[in-house]
A and B are shown apart, each in its own frame.
Chain A
Amino acid sequence: MHNVVIVGAGPAGLSAAIAAAAAGAPVLLIDSNPRMGGQYWRMAADSLENQIDQHYDLETGLLLINAVKARKEIEVWSNAQIWSATHKDGVNTLRIIHQDNEKIVNTKNLIICTGAYDRTLPFPGWDTPGVMTPGAVQSLLKGHAVLAGKRIVVAGSGPFLLPVATGVLKAGGEIVELIEANKPIRWLKSFAAMLENLHKINEGYYYLKTISTGKVRPRFGYAVVRAYKADNDELDSVDIAKIDRNFNIRKIKNIKCDVAAIGWGFTADTSLAGSLGCKQIVAEDDGVVIWADDKQQTSVTGIFVAGEITGIGGSELSMAEGVIAGISAAKFVGCKVEIKKAHIKRRAKKQRFATALIRAYPIKSGWKSWLTGESIICRCEEVDLNDLKHAITELGATDSRTAKLFTRCGMGLCQGRICGRSVVDLVADNLEISPTDIDRIAAVNRPIITPIPLGVLAAGE
């Protein structure tokens, strides 16, 4: 029997590995982190000590991680980076940097669970040291037990801000402000999805209770719209603004802080699946995700996907999809196993909650009005909004690809992972058109998935 190869050991990948192994398929689980668990269950060490405070349900994570470790059918490669992947005649070739060497894995059966990363929006001063993503603040806490700063502003939009603020408080940090751009009233539109997922309300209540004991009163309908540097070039303060429903600024007040953790939801990491030719689509939140059928199979036979890569939905939806993807892949390699009705029902329930989330935390177009001409858009290449406008009005760029090639916007070290999505919006805005799905998908196309030293590339066969 052939291996089922799984990429990513977060909630989706772990669930898929256990489901596939339980069905009798040998599994190779490839993960880029030193320890399993993904971003969600990131841990500084394998023990529970000092960890519990930073997690809401670490028990589930440890259960899955220990189950994977206990199964001898599952081989795990940690610290393994896939730098390139290609698909030819039904075979997927993964080129992996593992323990300083390059390893090649050829497989017909692949489950991709590469997750997502924080979505950022540019604003004046966002390139100041001290302006971070909530994900970075949390990963410092979870992965290294380090507080990013003393006085922290947590801002942006989405439920993820709550656990980050909670984690900072539990670790002894001060939350100066916790601000959410959208108002909670939006949740009323999705009453049914809330009722069937009451435990998520409990989770939210747990965070808010912790936050209120830290004497923090969350503000709704506010956003960080500018950051200021101190003399030492580090963050001095931020402007927080009351914003209207479309995110346009109404009133501004300045707040001193040394860290501003600002996130606007998540962007799926589709680079690997995209390289293999899996069909990419634009989701309701305008993010690019991988299309999958009800068995979690992509447009490429034998490649399955689960978790945030199919659409942002949180850990529970990821696990539900992971189980189905694991069963589907095991069946694909010849195991006698079927997806159960309960699996489908569970996924549907979590999917309804995920859709409610997306609708409760929209990112409205008014964020573009926070920018000035001198605002940096691409931090890697230091391209500002005036440069982008010049590319359009003077040089004749009529799409984001051309604007990017004229300005080098998105061509630096991160390859547009941070600014790419915003650039598509900004270019379209300046051309007074709507971005097309083709523009959005072109912006996430990265044949070199992660940088590789030329020496390692040269040594490969």
Chain B
Amino acid sequence: MKNPDAIVIGAGVVGACSALALTNAGLKVLVIDRGPVASGTTGAGEGNILVSDKEPGAELTLAMRSRDAWFELDTDIGGGFELEAKGGIVVSRSEKGISNLKRLATLQKSSGVETIELDRNGLQKIEPYLSADVEYGVLYPKDAQCQPMLAAAQIMRAVKKRGGVFVQGENVIKVNSNHNSVTGISTDKNSYISPIVINATGTWAGEIAKMANSYLPIMPRRGFILVTSPAPKLIHHKVYDADYVANVASGQADLQSSAVVEGTASGTILIGASRERVGFNGELDVAILRQLARQAISLFPILSNVQLLRAYRGFRPYAPDHLPVIGEDALISGLWHAAGHEGAGIGLAPATGELITSQITGQSPFMDPSPFSPKRFQGSEYVAV
């Protein structure tokens, strides 16, 4: 494609959704990735589409729109990525945890999130294998899940069908600009000219910002997921401990983990979720696998006899304030960021694509995008050096 209207760097789920939204708005879009579709963090995720784990605020608004956008998208492009409104259940077993969860659910409800409080009997009815000592939980019927790699691939397929172009196997080495306005990008093989460049490189978004002589404080936060052998349907929802919400929001570098357990369409059970800041260190850490197994068994004792088949890890892209970065760069005009979604990138991707597209095309956005602006890092300790 010569002279695309916009270049999207990154063919993960956020890049794919941004490319689709821009294409649907009538732009000629070129997507570029150093590897195949979904070869970064998207390919290492569980496919969470959650409203339950967000405190009321801008991110919850984004999440609620995005959740509905996933189902619209499913219809629009013809599915094929195992989208399922399975519902999420958040539970707590400590007195303090329960009161915090109740408070959170009440606030979420007033923001329009559907919540259903459950006692032990209610929980046992819909999750018969849940440990009997769990006496309180909240069901979020809108929580959903998809197969994230297939989602990114199907969306990219739609982008191509609608006239977009996907170039893979090229490494971006420079974001070109003139008088602080983007003019295009150079890869290790080619150069491309465009007035708009969208940085959707997730965990690697800081590097792209640097190539444009700007700055973005996105860092990796490692997570492990355990995958069991296929089992009969033991777990019907995504079930997780309320500590998970606290862990997501934590800024600590050391290991945090809380049980997140769910069955998938293929019969395997996925167990998460650990969070730690160890750079891009990809070594298998058996201590973390053990901790995840202990936490999962404590929620579902029956899992004790289920076999662990594999484990994998990914690097979530996180910003210091744990909010995604969606908007135009603080220094370089025409450079837009759609990155830093941490562990919520799959869930937030379609609304991110919509938000960035309406800002680029000048249409009125469905919500105020300013909380996600990259400009929020200006004047703080994170300003470029």
CB-CB under 8 A from B25, the residues of chain A are none
Choose one: A399, A405, A454, A461; the contact of B307 (CB below 8 Å): A454
Choose one: A399, A446, A448; the contact of B308 (CB below 8 Å): A448
Tell whether A86 pairs with B43 under 8 Å between CB atoms, given A395-B150, A406-B149: no
Contact A395 B310 (CB under 8 A): no
Choose one: A84, A411, A415, A458; the contact of B297 (CB below 8 Å): A458
In this assembly, does B290 line the interface, its C-beta being within 8 Å of a C-beta of chain A? yes
Give the distance in Å from the alpha carbon of A422 to the alpha carbon of B321 in the complex: 47
In this assembly, does B309 line the interface, its C-beta being within 8 Å of a C-beta of chain A? yes
In this assembly, does B56 line the interface, its C-beta being within 8 Å of a C-beta of chain A? no
In this assembly, does B364 line the interface, its C-beta being within 8 Å of a C-beta of chain A? no
A residues 382-403 touching B (CB-CB < 8 Å): 394-399, 402
Contact A396 B166 (CB under 8 A): yes
Size category, B interface? 35 or more
Choose one: B36, B289, B294, B310; the contact of A402 (CB below 8 Å): B36
Give the residue among A395, A411, A446, A454 with the most B Cβ atoms within 10 A.
Answer: A454
Give the distance in Å from the alpha carbon of A275 to the alpha carbon of B308 in the complex: 17
Choose one: B39, B294, B310; the contact of A446 (CB below 8 Å): B310
Choose one: B150, B230, B306; the contact of A453 (CB below 8 Å): B306
In this assembly, does B172 line the interface, its C-beta being within 8 Å of a C-beta of chain A? no
Give the distance in Å from the alpha carbon of A313 to the alpha carbon of B293 in the complex: 41
In this assembly, does B385 line the interface, its C-beta being within 8 Å of a C-beta of chain A? no
Contact A453 B304 (CB under 8 A): yes
Size category, A interface? 20 to 34
Interface of A is mostly: loop
Choose one: B43, B157, B229, B294; the contact of A394 (CB below 8 Å): B157
Choose one: B43, B228, B230, B293; the contact of A458 (CB below 8 Å): B293
Q: Nearest chain A CB to B40's CB is how many angstroms away? A: 12
CB-CB under 8 A from A394, the residues of chain B are 157
Tell whether A381 pairs with B150 under 8 Å between CB atoms, given A95-B286, A457-B290: no
B residues 309-368 touching A (CB-CB < 8 Å): 309-311
Count: A-B pairs, CB below 8 Å: 96
Contact A413 B229 (CB under 8 A): yes
Nearest neighbor of B303 in chain A, beta-carbon distance: A454
Give the distance in Å from the alpha carbon of A381 to the alpha carbon of B308 in the complex: 16
Tell whether A398 pairs with B168 under 8 Å between CB atoms, given A447-B284, A453-B304, A453-B306: yes
Choose one: B168, B226, B304; the contact of A455 (CB below 8 Å): B304
CB-CB under 8 A from A461, the residues of chain B are 290
Nearest neighbor of B11 in chain A, beta-carbon distance: A396
Contact A448 B310 (CB under 8 A): yes
Give the distance in Å from the alpha carbon of A411 to the alpha carbon of B150 in the complex: 15
CB-CB under 8 A from A398, the residues of chain B are 36, 168-169
CB-CB under 8 A from A405, the residues of chain B are 38, 43, 149
Contact B290 A453 (CB under 8 A): no
- CB 8 Å contact bits of A404-417 with B (1 = contact, 0 = none): 01101001110100
Tell whether A399 pairs with B36 under 8 Å between CB atoms, given A448-B308, A453-B306, A453-B307: yes
In this assembly, does B153 line the interface, its C-beta being within 8 Å of a C-beta of chain A? yes
Interface of B is mostly: mixed
Nearest neighbor of B226 in chain A, beta-carbon distance: A454
Give the distance in Å from the alpha carbon of A412 to the alpha carbon of B303 in the complex: 18
- CB 8 Å contact bits of B257-283 with A (1 = contact, 0 = none): 000000000100001000000000001
- CB 8 Å contact bits of B127-158 with A (1 = contact, 0 = none): 00000000000000000000001100110110
Contact B297 A455 (CB under 8 A): yes
Contact A451 B307 (CB under 8 A): yes
Give the residue among B230, B286, B289, B290 with the most A Cβ atoms within 10 A.
Answer: B286
Tell whether A397 pairs with B308 under 8 Å between CB atoms, given A86-B284, A406-B153, A454-B293: no
CB-CB under 8 A from A451, the residues of chain B are 229, 307-309
A residues 313-351 touching B (CB-CB < 8 Å): none
Q: Nearest chain B CB to A236's CB is how many angstroms away? A: 28
Nearest neighbor of B160 in chain A, beta-carbon distance: A396
CB-CB under 8 A from B305, the residues of chain A are 453-455
CB-CB under 8 A from B303, the residues of chain A are 454-455
Contact B168 A452 (CB under 8 A): no
B residues 1-51 touching A (CB-CB < 8 Å): 36-39, 43
CB-CB under 8 A from A275, the residues of chain B are 284
CB-CB under 8 A from B38, the residues of chain A are 402, 405
Q: Nearest chain B CB to A399's CB is how many angstroms away? A: 6
Choose one: B153, B230, B283, B309; the contact of A86 (CB below 8 Å): B283
In this assembly, does B296 line the interface, its C-beta being within 8 Å of a C-beta of chain A? yes
CB-CB under 8 A from B297, the residues of chain A are 454-455, 458
Give the distance in Å from the alpha carbon of A447 to the alpha carbon of B36 in the complex: 23
Give the distance in Å from the alpha carbon of A453 to the alpha carbon of B304 in the complex: 6
Give the distance in Å from the alpha carbon of A405 to the alpha carbon of B154 in the complex: 13
Contact B290 A458 (CB under 8 A): yes
Contact B153 A457 (CB under 8 A): no
Nearest neighbor of B310 in chain A, beta-carbon distance: A448
Q: Nearest chain B CB to A395's CB is how many angstroms away? A: 4
CB-CB under 8 A from B228, the residues of chain A are 454
CB-CB under 8 A from B284, the residues of chain A are 84, 86, 275, 447
Contact A396 B153 (CB under 8 A): yes
CB-CB under 8 A from B156, the residues of chain A are 396
B residues 157-179 touching A (CB-CB < 8 Å): 157, 166, 168-169
Give the distance in Å from the alpha carbon of A15 to the alpha carbon of B157 in the complex: 56
A residues 430-461 touching B (CB-CB < 8 Å): 446-448, 451-455, 457-458, 460-461
A residues 86-128 touching B (CB-CB < 8 Å): 86, 95
Contact B37 A402 (CB under 8 A): yes
Tell whether A415 pairs with B309 under 8 Å between CB atoms, given A402-B39, A458-B297: yes
Give the distance in Å from the alpha carbon of A408 to the alpha carbon of B264 in the complex: 12
Q: Nearest chain B CB to A398's CB is how many angstroms away? A: 5
CB-CB under 8 A from B43, the residues of chain A are 402, 405
CB-CB under 8 A from B226, the residues of chain A are 454
Q: Nearest chain B CB to A345's CB is how many angstroms away? A: 41
Contact B266 A395 (CB under 8 A): no
A-B contact pairs, 23 of them (CB 8 A): A86-B284, A396-B36, A396-B37, A396-B157, A397-B36, A402-B39, A405-B38, A405-B43, A405-B149, A406-B150, A408-B266, A412-B230, A413-B230, A413-B309, A415-B309, A415-B310, A447-B310, A451-B309, A453-B308, A454-B296, A454-B303, A455-B305, A461-B290
Of all A-B residue pairs in the complex, the 10 with the closest CB atoms, nearest first, are: A455-B304, A451-B307, A395-B153, A458-B293, A458-B294, A457-B293, A402-B36, A454-B293, A447-B284, A398-B36
Task: Known A-B contacts: A396-B36, A447-B284, A455-B303. Give 11 more (CB < 8 A).
Answer: A396-B156, A399-B36, A402-B38, A405-B38, A405-B149, A415-B310, A448-B310, A454-B271, A454-B303, A454-B307, A455-B297
